[in-house]
């Protein structure tokens, strides 16, 4: 088994070297940028975003100076680039290592010899899959932790493990995105027997899956787990978004009226509750009742508090892992009946 793993990594040495360089390079860059942001000593109680637009009334000079320095780093091209790369890199690594896993052997004509020497095609492919998994899991885990570190630095005082901001584009989920992309691409390579078509189709599928993942989860899996994040009265008061709500995952919003779910026509409600009068000068005056904002139709957010970060991440990563196992199973099943050309 060890020999097969070493042989697999040797045969894909270009892809292996590229994956190592990319993951380590981006992880180190993320840590460096996070340290740059953390090196700015923001005074206690100084929120750097308050300095957007210039010096504000009530802001101390020390806060404004530190905030300007922090914002210059935060809004730089370097930080924006490094923050976005971890969202893409797991797919690049997975596709790059998955496509040639079987297809290259078929394209080069070495598949009959490899399968004959291995004795079992499934054991042969399982060893190759295991070799790549042992490589990409630690690399993507390192990348994920570095991206979490950078995410925490981009928002002062943020705990990245209790906040749902871009939670599936950083941290532990990067490992499972990479595994899913790798297993899916390996399955396509086994089915097609050609590297280029497998890579092209894998790119299209990965873009579609990643683009529809969050809306799909919010529509199907997460609604039963969500709860009211702010009451109608809190929203109407203008101060509903406390620290816990800001870190929450908003799944959907529902219209409420008088503290109860309401599905009426909001335009009709406003028309029915608006009175039009004409004063002595002929001016039209519109008045709306009730005057209490809490009695007006209000969108109430439903979602998952930041404290439930790990259970939700475990749930979504588990779904990705099951998808990876399914794709790997397809590849193992197909390789047994695959013609070596």
**pLDDT at residue 215 greater than cutoff 50:** yes
**pLDDT at residue 148 greater than cutoff 60:** yes
Q: Which of 20-24, 63-67, 186-190 is least confident?
A: 63-67
- Mean pLDDT for the stretch of residues 61-81: 90
Q: Which of 38-42, 102-106, 146-150, 337-341 is least confident?
A: 337-341
- Mean pLDDT for the stretch of residues 146-161: 92
**pLDDT at residue 68 greater than cutoff 60:** yes
pLDDT value for 287: 63
> Contact, 94 vs 177, CB < 8 A?
yes
Beta-carbon-side half-sphere exposure of residue 27 (alpha carbons within 13 Å): 18
**pLDDT at residue 236 greater than cutoff 70:** no
Give me the chain's average pLDDT, please: 87
pLDDT value for 34: 96
Q: Which of 41-55, 80-94, 270-284 is least confident?
A: 270-284
Q: Is 115 helix (H, G, I), strand (E, B) or coil?
A: helix
**pLDDT at residue 301 greater than cutoff 60:** yes
DSSP summary character for residue 227: E
pLDDT value for 337: 84
**pLDDT at residue 283 greater than cutoff 80:** no
**pLDDT at residue 51 greater than cutoff 80:** no
**pLDDT at residue 21 greater than cutoff 90:** yes
Task: Name the more confident of 8 and 173.
Answer: 173
**pLDDT at residue 313 greater than cutoff 90:** yes
Q: Which of 166-175, 210-219, 295-304, 319-328 is least confident?
A: 295-304
State the Cα–Cα distance between residues 13 and 181, nearest whole angstrom: 19
CA dist list (Å): 148 to 78, 153, 316, 319 = 17, 9, 17, 21
Count of CB atoms situated within 10 Å of the CB of 73:
17
Task: Name the more confident of 10 and 246.
Answer: 10
**pLDDT at residue 124 greater than cutoff 70:** yes
Per-residue pLDDT reduced to its tens digit, 251-263: 988 888 877 888 8
Q: What is the pTM of this model?
A: 0.89
- Mean pLDDT for the stretch of residues 224-248: 67
pLDDT value for 243: 47
pLDDT value for 235: 62
pLDDT value for 113: 85
Q: Where are the alpha helices (DSSP H) in the chain?
A: 2-11, 13-38, 61-74, 77-98, 100-108, 111-118, 121-154, 173-192, 195-220, 232-236, 243-246, 266-272, 309-336
Per-residue pLDDT reduced to its tens digit, 168-201: 999 999 999 999 999 999 999 999 999 999 999 9
Q: Which of 87-96, 162-171, 253-262 is least confident?
A: 253-262
């Amino acid at each position: 088994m060890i020999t097969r793993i070493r042989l697999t990594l040797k045969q894909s040495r270009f892809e292996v070297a590229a994956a190592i360089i990319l993951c380590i390079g981006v992880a180190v860059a993320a840590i460096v940028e996070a340290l740059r942001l953390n090196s700015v000593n923001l005074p206690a109680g100084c929120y750097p975003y308050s300095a957007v637009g210039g010096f504000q009334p009530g802001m101390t000079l020390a806060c404004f100076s530190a905030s300007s320095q922090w914002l210059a780093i935060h809004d730089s091209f370097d930080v924006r680039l490094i923050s976005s790369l971890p969202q893409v890199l797991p797919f690049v690594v997975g596709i790059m290592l998955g496509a040639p896993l079987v297809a290259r052997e078929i394209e080069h004509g070495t598949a009959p010899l490899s399968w004959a020497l291995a004795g079992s095609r499934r054991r042969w492919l399982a060893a190759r899959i295991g070799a790549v998994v042992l490589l990409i899991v630690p690399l993507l885990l390192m990348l994920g932790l570095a991206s979490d570190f950078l995410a925490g630095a981009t928002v002062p005082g943020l705990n990245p493990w209790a906040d749902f901001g871009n939670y599936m584009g950083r941290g532990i989920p990067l490992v499972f995105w990479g595994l899913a992309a790798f297993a899916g691409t390996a399955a396509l390579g086994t089915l097609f027997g050609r590297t280029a078509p497998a890579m092209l189709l894998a790119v299209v599928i990965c873009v579609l899956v990643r683009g529809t993942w969050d809306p799909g989860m919010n529509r199907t899996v997460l609604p039963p787990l969500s709860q009211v994040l702010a009451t109608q009265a809190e929203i109407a008061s203008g101060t509903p978004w406390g620290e816990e709500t800001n870190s929450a995952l908003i799944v959907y919003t529902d219209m409420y009226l008088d503290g109860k779910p309401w599905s009426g026509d909001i335009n009709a409600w406003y028309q029915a509750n608006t009175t039009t009068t004409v004063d002595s000068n002929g001016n039209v005056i519109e008045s709306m009742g009730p005057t209490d904002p809490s009695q007006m139709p209000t969108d109430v957010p439903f979602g998952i508090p930041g404290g439930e970060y790990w259970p939700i991440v475990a749930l979504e990563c588990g779904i990705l892992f099951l998808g990876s196992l399914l794709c790997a199973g397809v590849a193992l099943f197909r390789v047994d009946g695959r013609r070596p050309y």
